[in-house]
């Protein structure tokens, strides 16, 4: 038995349907080539990505452990047991980097509990890329996940985020289910004050990429097609 523990590699994926090595460093390809055990959200898309980035890798030899809403939590806690045998494991996100707005965070937590070395690899994060491109305060920002679905509660939270942004000079980042993006943009236009700034970043790294920052009064005449397109929203109030 190998006396050295295996590691947990945090493997980034693309943010959409583009060539992996256009947005991922070669180090990701090298690590995937060396691994046979993977923890993934969706087996079909994970296998497709692995095949795309390393076509010669034997698919039947892979051990795929699923981490989705149906995963048995007791079973999930065994996913890193192979590390005690010196076998390393790769954690794959569905899009972007693992453990950021992603269920993989619980696997990373488990690795630390078990004393397993965690190795994050460089890759695209839509949250960070949107923040970089927004022109807002990159020294102080907060990611808020999803806002409430109920319209009145959502508008109340939008006003709260605007207040926080002004009080703390803090950029407020959040996301929405893609098919509700256009309703979200409509609510932002009608709820935020005219001089509040909003960045909308859609399809980041793809050919259809759309990133624009305007004051709300200038957003009134803008009607970007955001339907079913992954989008990041950022509010900043000076």
Q: Return the half-sphere exposure (C-beta side, CA atoms, 13 A cut-off) of residue 65.
A: 20
Per-residue pLDDT at 71: 87
Per-residue pLDDT at 176: 97
Per-residue pLDDT at 1: 46
CA 201 – CA 192 distance, rounded (Å):
18
Per-residue pLDDT at 70: 86
CA 163 – CA 57 distance, rounded (Å):
51
List per-block mean pLDDT (blocks of 10 residues) for the chain, which spans 238 residues. 83 93 94 97 95 93 93 94 97 94 94 98 97 97 97 97 98 97 97 98 97 97 95 97
Helices (H), the chain: 20-23, 26-34, 43-53, 73-76, 105-113, 126-134, 151-168, 181-191, 216-219
Q: What is the pTM of this model?
A: 0.92
Backbone φ and ψ of 179, nearest 5°: -75, -5
């Amino acid at each position: 038995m190998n006396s050295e523990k295996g590691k947990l590699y945090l493997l980034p994926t693309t943010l959409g349907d583009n060539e992996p090595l256009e947005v991922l460093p070669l180090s990701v390809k090298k690590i995937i080539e060396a691994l046979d055990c993977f923890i993934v959200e969706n087996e079909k898309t994970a296998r497709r990505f692995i095949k795309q980035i390393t076509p010669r890798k034997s698919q039947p030899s892979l051990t795929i452990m699923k981490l989705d809403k149906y995963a048995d939590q007791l079973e999930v806690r065994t996913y890193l047991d192979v590390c005690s045998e010196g076998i390393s494991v790769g954690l794959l996100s569905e899009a972007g980097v693992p453990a950021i707005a992603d269920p993989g965070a619980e696997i990373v937590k488990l690795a630390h509990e078990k004393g397993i070395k965690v190795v994050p690899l460089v890759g695209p994060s839509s949250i960070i890329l949107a923040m970089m491109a927004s022109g807002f305060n990159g020294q102080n920002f907060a990611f808020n996940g999803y806002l409430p679905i109920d319209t009145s509660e959502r508008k109340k939270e939008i006003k709260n985020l605007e207040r926080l942004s002004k009080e703390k000079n803090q950029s407020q980042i959040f996301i929405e289910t893609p098919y509700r993006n256009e309703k979200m943009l409509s609510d932002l236009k009608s709820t935020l004050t005219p001089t509040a700034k909003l960045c909308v970043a859609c399809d980041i790294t793809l050919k259809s990429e759309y990133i624009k920052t305007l004051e709300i009064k200038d957003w009134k005449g803008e009607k970007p097609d955001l339907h079913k397109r992954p989008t990041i929203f950022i509010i900043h109030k000076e």
